[in-house]
Amino acid sequence: MMNKQQTKNLNEVRAMIQRHKLNDYIFSIIGLLCLMVGLITLLTLFIDLILQGYPKLLSLSFYTDFPSRRASSAGLLSALVGSSLVMLVTFLSAVPMGVMAAIYLEEYAPKNWFSDLIEINVSNLAAVPSIIYGLLALGLFVYILDLGQSIVTAGLTLGLLILPVVIVATRESIRSIPIAIREAAYAVGATKWQVVYDHVIKYSFGGILTGVIIGMARAIGETAPIITIGALTFIAFLPPSPVTTTAPFLNFEWLSSGFTVLPIQMFSWLSRPSEAFHVNAAAAGVIIILVTLIMNGFAIRMRYKMRKNIKW
């Protein structure tokens, strides 16, 4: 009697577990489907681009030629150089500013309603559509500061665009440093600046770098703000080289040079009626995606490497 009762209960428990497991099963199927819809769509697109663009992708002259009226001899050179130089300006403007702003906000700013307000607004800035940044830049950099429709204008615009990303990533990384580590540093007599310099910056470096690279990966594909400030679509020259063979070996004329960037080059080819140019556009698209993927991969790797020695 007693035994039978127990067996019955056990069977009930087993049935219940089975039912719950079914829920797990159903959910994982739905989740997988959702994942697939996203992934497969993107993958199809990417493969399609490769299939369309592969004749160009495989030819060296595509990377060493200027744009041309003839699709067959049109190349990416000025866009590649333009994108690199613009990214350089973006990096040099957004990183120091973003990191310093974040350190100030986390370590020095008094915590009150005003800093809360700033905090909310910084996060909101990250969500502002990029074309708005383009308008801002057109007004500020092109008309007021008279920097022209140049590399420096584009670089600063994209710098502004990714500034919130850098700030947020840096702050999060700083916040993850345990209080115990800070107190340990203060307890041996460190000043605030020593704590920031010897500990905060060093331990949050991986997180900062990740934020910077992800921001840059976003910036490299940005088209709208660049169009707004007036990038050229047909550039058959290179900006003056930043490094020269004669003293002082650095040259800043390139900053004020006209330019084009990868997504704009792609867009301009795409808007040609001739089918032949679409091959070029597809190839340019593949390059943009690859650059972005490589940057993200690099960010993940750096993060892993930096965090290996840090356990929190």
Partner 1 sequence: MMTSTTPVKAEARNLSFFYNGGNNAVKNVSMPLYENKITALIGPSGCGKSTFLRCFNRMHDLYPGNKYEGQIIMHPDDTNILEKNVDPIEVRMRISMVFQKPNPFPKSIYENVAYGLRVRGEKNRRIVDDKVEEALKGAALWNEVKDRLQDLAFNLSGGQQQRLCIARALATDPEIMLFDEPTSALDPIATANIEELMSELRNKLTILVVTHNMQQAARVSDYTAYMYLGELIEHGETDRIFTRPTRKETEDYITGKFG
Contact residues toward partner 1 (CB under 8 A) are 110-111, 178, 180-191, 194, 198-199, 203, 309-311
Write down the least CB distance from residue 311 to partner 1, Å.
6
Question: In Å, how far are 32, 54, 56, 90 from 284, measured between CA atoms?
Answer: 31, 10, 9, 21
User: Between residues 4 and 311, which has the closer beta carbon with respect to partner 1?
Assistant: 311
Write down the least CB distance from residue 107 to partner 1, Å.
11
User: Between residues 136 and 302, which has the closer beta carbon with respect to partner 1?
Assistant: 302
Q: Which phi and psi (to 5°) does residue 238 adopt?
A: -105, 150
Write down the least CB distance from residue 169 to partner 1, Å.
19
* Residue matched to tokens 């593949």: 286
Write down the least CB distance from residue 177 to partner 1, Å.
10
Write down the least CB distance from residue 304 to partner 1, Å.
15
DSSP 17-38: HHHHHHHHHHHHHHHHHHHHHH
Q: What's the sign of the alpha-carbon dihedral 268, 271, 277, 282?
A: positive
Write down the least CB distance from residue 195 to partner 1, Å.
9
User: Between residues 179 and 250, which has the closer beta carbon with respect to partner 1?
Assistant: 179
Write down the least CB distance from residue 87 to partner 1, Å.
31
DSSP 263-294: HHHHHHHHTSSSHHHHHHHHHHHHHHHHHHHH
221, two tokens: 């594909």
User: Between residues 96 and 178, which has the closer beta carbon with respect to partner 1?
Assistant: 178
Gyration radius from the chain CA atoms: 26
56, two tokens: 């160009």
* Residue matched to tokens 């892993």: 304
Do 159 and 229 contact (CB within 8 A), yes or no? no
Q: What's the sign of the alpha-carbon dihedral 252, 255, 261, 265?
A: negative
User: Between residues 108 and 237, which has the closer beta carbon with respect to partner 1?
Assistant: 108
User: Between residues 180 and 243, which has the closer beta carbon with respect to partner 1?
Assistant: 180
User: Between residues 70 and 308, which has the closer beta carbon with respect to partner 1?
Assistant: 308
